[in-house]
Amino acid sequence: MTPGIGNPRLSSYIKGLYTKSVITPYIHILVYHIHELMNLHKQFGLKVFSCSPVERKNGMQTAKYFQKTTKGGGKNNKLAVIDILDYENCDLYYYVNEIDDNQFKIKKIKLYD
């Protein structure tokens, strides 16, 4: 990648494209390997290389972290990632076995009328 040339505080500074420290795996693949992959899998097109399913999964797990975990706290001090995996495991179990998870919800007890 092309680094910047000169002093960044001066007007004569020529801005570079990317430095090695900011190169992500996505950019690396795009620059160095996409031509090989396109030649191997041209029948599928560029859409097959989309990372949106992975990004969607990350978004769902982030939401679960903030909504459904104790964030590493609580009585048993369990890691949040274990909470997320437990939740997803139960969700998958209900889906595969076609169980309606509404039948397993805990009924709230009224303490006062």
> Within this chain, do residues 37 and 9 fall inside the same structural domain, yes or no?
yes
CA distance 29 to 26: 5
Residue 13 has pLDDT above 80, yes or no: yes
Which residues make Cβ contacts (< 8 Å) with residue 26, sequence separation at least 6? 51
> Within this chain, do residues 29 and 70 fall inside the same structural domain, yes or no?
no
More confidently predicted of 104 and 93: 93
Asked whether residue 66 is assigned to any structural domain, the reply reads: yes
88 closest CA partner among 64, 55, 62: 64
Q: Which residue range forms the structural domain that includes residue 1?
A: 1-45
Q: How many domains does the chain have?
A: 2
What pLDDT, on the 0 to 100 scale, is given for residue 100?
Answer: 66
pTM: 0.48
Mean pLDDT of the chain: 77
> Within this chain, do residues 27 and 59 fall inside the same structural domain, yes or no?
no
Q: Is 14 helix (H, G, I), strand (E, B) or coil?
A: strand
Asked whether residue 39 is assigned to any structural domain, the reply reads: yes
> Within this chain, do residues 100 and 55 fall inside the same structural domain, yes or no?
yes
> Within this chain, do residues 63 and 35 fall inside the same structural domain, yes or no?
no
Residue 106 has pLDDT above 60, yes or no: no
pLDDT average, residue stretch 88-94:
83
